[in-house]
Amino acid sequence: MINKKVEEILNAQINKEFYSAYLYLAMSAHFDEIGLKGFSHWTKVQAREEVDHGMILFDYIIERDGNVDLKQIEAPQYNFGEPLEIFEQIFRHECSVTESIECVASMSEEECDMATRHFINWYIQEQVEEEASVDDIIKKMKMFGQDKSILYHIDIELGKREYSQHKYS
């Protein structure tokens, strides 16, 4: 049986993961609209990964005999500008997700729920990878400034991202 405070924070995290999927989908639609198909593809793949993150939490709560409590998902808040600005928003968003994952880790420790503390390590590692990959893209865009031909090449590169279902391991 799962600790109630931990169950609550895990349910809140499910909502954040599905909100992230919404946010990435909104970005994907925007990139498609302005003709950046690779950027659109990359953010759409990211949205699918966010759904996986939510579903792993969903399955975990059920496995621990807890109650899944799905709340309303907010419409994404965004102010889309240049691709670089959007990726900076992504970076800030992922940093805030990292903070909320760390809160899950700290709550599990406070409540002596070592199973959840161990489970959440997968998310901590996932956040390290997500922040690093977004930071790489930002650095490339910054390095080449306003050079549109470089943006074209980055678009091609981002279009190669492959989706593979994220599973807890």
> Can you give the binding site for ligand FEO, defined by CB under 6 A?
17, 20, 50, 53, 94, 97, 130
Nearer to ligand FEO, 7 or 94 (CB): 94
Whole-angstrom Cα distance, residue 57 to residue 9? 11
- Minimum CB–partner distance for residue 146 and ligand FEO (Å): 28
**Which of these, 78, 95, 91, lies nearest to 31 by C-alpha position?**
78
Nearer to ligand FEO, 54 or 151 (CB): 54
Q: Which two tokens stand for residue 123?
A: 């998310």
Is there a contact between 43 and 27 (Cβ–Cβ < 8 Å)?
Answer: yes
- Minimum CB–partner distance for residue 109 and ligand FEO (Å): 21
- Minimum CB–partner distance for residue 154 and ligand FEO (Å): 20
Sign of CA dihedral 31, 36, 38, 39: negative
Nearer to ligand FEO, 7 or 17 (CB): 17
Those residues with Cβ within 8 angstroms of residue 89's Cβ, 6 or more apart along the chain or in another chain: 78, 79
Nearer to ligand FEO, 17 or 151 (CB): 17
Compute CA 95 distance to the chain's CA centroid, rounded to the nearest angstrom: 10
Nearer to ligand FEO, 74 or 147 (CB): 74
* Look-up of token digits 């910054």: 142
Whole-angstrom Cα distance, residue 166 to residue 169? 9
Is there a contact between 157 and 150 (Cβ–Cβ < 8 Å)?
Answer: no
- Minimum CB–partner distance for residue 122 and ligand FEO (Å): 11
- Minimum CB–partner distance for residue 32 and ligand FEO (Å): 20
